[in-house]
Structure 1
Amino acid sequence: MPVSNHNTTEQTDSAPSPASKPSWRFGDLSAAELMPQLQRHLLAQDIKANWQLVWLNNDGRPVIGLLPKVCWSVYPNDEQASSDLPNIYKVIKSCRGNGVRRSTDVNSDDNSYASMTAYMSYLEWQDELIAYSNAQEVNHDTSYINNEESPKPSYHHGLIGFIGYDIAALELSPADRIELAMQPCASLAHYDIYLTPTAHADIGWTLKTHLTNDDASENTDHETNDILINTLTSYLDELDQKLSDKHLNQPQFKDVSNITPLVLSPRWSKLDYQQAFNRTQDYLQQGDCYQINLTQKWSGSLARENNDVQSAFSLIDYLPALYRNTKAPFAGYVSVDGDDGDYLNKSSSFNADSNHFELLSCSPELFFTFTRENDTGKHSIRTKPIKGTMPRGVTNEQDERYKQQLVDSEKDRAENVMIVDLLRNDLGKYAKIGTVKVPQLFAIESFSNVHHMVSTITAELKTDTHPLAVLFGSLPAGSITGTPKKRAVEIIAELESTPRGAYCGTMGYMNFDGSGQWNVLIRTLQANALSNDDCNKERHVNLWAGGGITVASDCDAEYQECLDKVGNLLSVLAQNM
């Protein structure tokens, strides 16, 4: 289904245009430093609001979304269908209502959100999102839309969220009954209210809104939107003042420099990894696959002071230190409420950190960039799979030597080209004939702790294909499964023996005009309470790392590669660097 071309009617009488919104410096904090302060401040103002704060670094074009208009959160369904029928998932759809209120305003109307539960298949959910996107008014303001003068993609109105590995792997091999982690399988939300950096870097952040005509069909709706934006602006004014005055000793702020270290321990010993590696080799030797991406898990728990639920740290508190260390181009964060409608039943004693699922990614890997030509409406796609890793050196000489070793590695080049061929095949299903190209093969990109071998594939999409269908149909990414993909995910489920959850899925945005950008969720932490009882005890955190295994792989080298990939994250968490 193609993207609809709608004429935009900008709401100008009930809310200012994006260009006229106020701006804030927020103490000149970076986005990663701002996020914990912003989340705690907003929750202190209105504990009942479904803020669902999200941040995407977006390769240097960051966006912070808040208070989504509509959100779809997908969960495992306890009553799965038989193996010959599509998998059915529990989808909770929440809609923003009358706005936000002060937590101290006990007489305020609490009926600000509506929630409904549906049971649908993966494809039915995809089709609902496409229909919703096509029904929205496309923003044609060229200051937001990608063009030759603004080559980097950016969010300008659409959906933001994530789709986890587990649900995508299960859809790829439904008969294998791949286990789903007991957490959100996916969550996508329409963010019509968001913060972006101002055009002048020395000014800070500006608030942008797209409250369209369907929100304001009556005078009362105009007034409601005015109240919503004015209230939110006042909240941001207060935070800006507090950060400017360095009033970080207020109760709603934690001193992020004194966060308790978070120690994550490996689930596997080296012997466990070796046994899984050997079984992987057996499958490769038998011809089941050419490459299998084997990963292992580290886990721990978020701490609280003196066993006090209200003092529990949140994963977002570790975001500033993690981003400072990694500078990951496709980093991101999102928090999603539990599947029992908790945000509808919050009380003044509710601990906002205790029952949320949190996803914090320090990903260096691009999955897809979708671009749209304004004149023709043509959509193009670019993907940059990573396959091949070497650590950074201690000295410049050693660093260059390691980089050259990666350039010369026949094993890494062979693994990389396998994934390039897999992705060329994936894109070929959606691309116009003859448009799939490989403009760059075996390039080396350097990050804070590793060098990676990266290739680039591009294509032009068929005119009757919606980018969301390409995204849904191409998951999970070939770089984190292996090839052939279907058999690889089946072997992964057997060997790893525990669900990956969101890890190795994707996080990003899709504008309503079909442009967008999505990462591969590697170098990614997940925090979740395993049961309702655990909500009052501790929240579990996990982190994964792995690599592609071929018949030419060495067990010790592959095990060390896992440590190279997440060693800096483990150190930052343990020492709060």
Structure 2
Amino acid sequence: MGKEEFERIVGAAKEKIVDGEIFQVVLSRRYSLPFEGNLVRFYNRLKQTNPSPYMYFLSFGDRKIIGSSPENLVRVEGRKIDSFATLAGTMPRGETPEKDAQLERKLLGDEKERAEHLMLVDLTRNDLSKVSAFNSVSVPELMEVHKYRHVQHLSSHVVGQLQEGKDCFDAFDAIFPAGTLTGAPKVRAMELIEELEAGRRGPYGGAVGYFSFNRNCDFAINIRTLVAHRQKAHIQAGAGIVYDSVPEKEYEETENKMRSLLYALEAK
């Protein structure tokens, strides 16, 4: 999806927000290009150029999914539930330490980004409360800045304790798909995504991880990911749209999020 079309659907989403149908929706665009290179080499470059908490290379016959996701969806260890599924609010990295610090201050002071982030924190708290013991959901980390190679994000950490009779499968079911990839309210946001985006998302915005035999789990949100299929590579990135979003800036955010994968593709 090109710049003009993406800005058009951002405008359409803003109309839905003004009409009161929704508070926020995360719209994404896909970039596809020919690729016949060595995917293992690409993965190794990605580890060097954009190291992230979740690195993965998944092979499904002639379809490969290669990612460097910075964002946790849900983790269950014993009775504890963790979610960093509020990695929302984005700025590029600065070329110098001074410029980087300036952009960090700009991110922390951006009322739009802060309001959007708090909305998603509340959504995550609500999701976890469905399977958490009464009064156990808390936010030990709120709007901290996490820095990666090409972008920096506002991040919050939401935790809870599983209710008796609930397990890791219930926790996953309660939070999937991530609010940071849909919007709020979640169901109406997904309906608008289906209506406005050019095609089905496929793996993008899903989850990559595991359920273990001891009923623990750990899942990443499937972002910063390349899908390779039949000599083509597909990259997808999104931006959270709210009532005062500027379409051009939302397009720039998707460009910034794609940059790490494109850099690894171009590296020699």
Q: Which TM class, normalised by the smaller chain length?
A: over 0.9
Do the aligned partners of 2:65 and 2:227 also contact (CA within 8 Å) in 1? yes
Structure having greater relative contact order (Cα 8 Å, sep ≥ 6): 2
C-alpha distance in 2 between matches for 1:288 and 1:556: 23
1:320 partner amino acid: N
Equivalent residue number for residue 497 of structure 1: 198
Equivalent residue number for residue 68 of structure 2: 362
Equivalent residue number for residue 257 of structure 2: 565
C-alpha distance in 2 between matches for 1:330 and 1:568: 14
1:380 partner amino acid: K
Determine if the alignment matches structure 1 residue 383 to structure 2 residue 73.
Answer: no
Determine if the alignment matches structure 1 residue 283 to structure 2 residue 7.
Answer: no
Runs of at least 5 residues in structure 2 that lack an aligned partner in the other structure = none
Moved more, 420-429 or 463-472: 463-472
Following superposition of structure 1 onto structure 2, how do residues 236-315 of structure 1 map, counting pairs within 5 Å?
A: 268-303=1-36, 313-315=37-39
Do the aligned partners of 1:436 and 1:458 also contact (CA within 8 Å) in 2? yes
C-alpha distance in 2 between matches for 1:386 and 1:541: 25
C-alpha offsets along residues 545-565 of structure 1, whole Å, 9 cap, x if unaligned? 111110121112111111111
Do the aligned partners of 1:302 and 1:315 also contact (CA within 8 Å) in 2? no
2:242 partner amino acid: T
C-alpha offsets along residues 64-88 of structure 1, whole Å, 9 cap, x if unaligned? xxxxxxxxxxxxxxxxxxxxxxxxx
2:35 partner amino acid: L
Work out which of the residue numbers 159, 163, 167 in structure 2 matches 1:466. Answer: 167
**Offset at residue 516 of structure 1 (A):** 2.3
C-alpha distance in 2 between matches for 1:416 and 1:359: 28
2:243 partner amino acid: V
SS in 1 for 2:236: strand
SS in 2 for 1:278: helix
Equivalent residue number for residue 527 of structure 1: 228
SS in 2 for 1:297: strand
Do the aligned partners of 2:138 and 2:159 also contact (CA within 8 Å) in 1? yes
The structure carrying a bigger strand percent of its residues is: 2
1:544 partner amino acid: Q
C-alpha distance in 1 between matches for 2:41 and 2:59: 12
C-alpha offsets along residues 335-392 of structure 1, whole Å, 9 cap, x if unaligned? 123xxxxxxxxxxxxxxxxxx22111111111112111xxxxxx11011121100000
C-alpha distance in 2 between matches for 1:286 and 1:506: 32
User: How many pairs align?
Assistant: 267
Structure (1 or 2) with the larger CA radius of gyration: 1
Work out which of the residue numbers 44, 58, 63 in structure 2 matches 1:320. Answer: 44
C-alpha distance in 2 between matches for 1:322 and 1:462: 39
Equivalent residue number for residue 232 of structure 2: 540
C-alpha distance in 1 between matches for 2:170 and 2:159: 17
Do the aligned partners of 2:225 and 2:261 also contact (CA within 8 Å) in 1? no
SS in 2 for 1:463: coil
Q: So what's the TM-score if we normalise by structure 1? A: 0.45
1:479 partner amino acid: T
Equivalent residue number for residue 170 of structure 1: none
**Offset at residue 480 of structure 1 (A):** 0.6
Moved more, 486-495 or 356-365: 356-365
SS in 2 for 1:504: coil
Q: So what's the TM-score if we normalise by structure 2? A: 0.96
Same amino acid, percent of matched pairs: 31
The ranges of structure 1 where at least 4 consecutive aligned residues each deviate by more than 4 angstroms after the TM superposition are: none
